[in-house]
Amino acid sequence: MTRWLTEAVPRGRVAAFRTLVYLFVAADLVVFTPWVRTRVDVPGELYQPLLIGRLLPLPTPTPALVAVLFWTLLPLALLAATGRAPRLLGWSVFALYLEWMIIAMSYGKVDHDRFALLVALAALPTAGRARHGDPTRSEAGGWALRVTQIAVICTYFLAAWAKLRFGGLDWATGSVLARAIIRRGTDLADLIAQVPYLLIVAQFGILAFELLSPLVFLLRERWRLATVGFFYSFHLVTFATITISFAPHLVAMASFLPLEKVRPVDRLRQLRRRRPAAPVDQLGEHSLAATGDDLRPAPLPQP
């Protein structure tokens, strides 16, 4: 079990995943959850902190607290994405983002798509230094990615458990997707809803997919990657039909992928080096003369 948990991976994979995660944290602050800053506009009595917020305990959010949290976390996340000071910056980003999420989720709604991302933020500082493209294998990096993968799969499996615990089989035979389509469905969802019994089949399919998701760890690498591709396609269809985004979860799920093979900077450098030279027939007469390569035949000597 320990060997499986700490299966070594290339440090380049850890570096790429780290950059992706921290860049998403920065994007999350300004694109996905900027509404957290508006929480301070509601009465403090409506703040009902999560269990962790009650145990620590954490203060009731104020405009000053949220502003300091935002403007501190944003630059730290961008710095952490460079890979510098991985432990200091990593632990700082994790602590600040955890507080950001506690504020976000302490007003009556808790999103389960943040769980795996928080696990990734907690695990990445333990991986140590890692450089992009480094093929050296690291057990510490493997552990950080493995626990993130486990959190990703737990998100699916526990979601199915919650459905069965609170809804039973009525969740699969009820009108869950129909209500979602009525509330926030797209034109594509309206077309799907017209097919008899298709939504019921889809609900059974979702339950089966989530309950069987742990089997991904038993597959060979090729089939595991194909299965992860299916996971991504599932969320693509979900967004295309009922506009529910699982962006943080999708970022964490990249822990399954061989990210060390994705080198956009190196690719751009290669493209710059492959600039084609101008063909000879396009060179002007003056350029030929300048090189001394006059291709005209020499004149015959005069008698």
Q: Look at residue 175 and tell me if it is in a domain.
A: yes
Q: Which of 38, 27, 35 is nearest to 248 (CA)?
A: 27
Tokens 């690291």 locate to: 138
**Predicted pLDDT of residue 262:** 81
Peptide bond into 57 cis (omega under 30): yes
Identify whether the C-beta of residue 192 lies closer than 8 Å to the C-beta of residue 198.
yes
Mean pLDDT, residues 74-86: 96
Q: Look at residue 235 and tell me if it is in a domain.
A: yes
Identify whether the C-beta of residue 245 lies closer than 8 Å to the C-beta of residue 239.
yes
Look up the domain containing 205 and give its range: 2-263
Q: Look at residue 242 and tell me if it is in a domain.
A: yes
Q: Look at residue 282 and tell me if it is in a domain.
A: no
Burial of 183 (0-12, 13-18, 19+ CB in 10 A): exposed
**Predicted pLDDT of residue 285:** 47
Q: Residue 272 — φ and ψ, nearest 5°?
A: -70, -35
Q: Look at residue 287 and tell me if it is in a domain.
A: no
Q: Is the pLDDT of residue 299 over 70?
A: no
Identify whether the C-beta of residue 148 lies closer than 8 Å to the C-beta of residue 255.
yes
Q: Look at residue 270 and tell me if it is in a domain.
A: no
Identify whether the C-beta of residue 136 lies closer than 8 Å to the C-beta of residue 10.
yes
What digits encode the pLDDT tens for the residues 118-162? Answer: 999 999 999 999 999 999 999 999 999 999 999 999 999 999 999
For 72, residues 6+ apart whose C-beta sits below 8 A from its C-beta are 96
**Predicted pLDDT of residue 44:** 81
The highest-confidence range among 40-44, 53-57, 164-168, by mean pLDDT, is 164-168
**Predicted pLDDT of residue 286:** 46
Q: Which of 110, 131, 132 is nearest to 51 (CA)?
A: 110
pTM metric for this prediction: 0.86
Q: How many domains does the chain have?
A: 1
Percent of the chain with pLDDT over 70: 88
Identify whether the C-beta of residue 167 lies closer than 8 Å to the C-beta of residue 39.
no
**Predicted pLDDT of residue 302:** 53
Q: Residue 72 — φ and ψ, nearest 5°?
A: -90, -40
What digits encode the pLDDT tens for the residues 86-123? Answer: 999 999 999 999 999 999 999 888 899 999 999 999 99
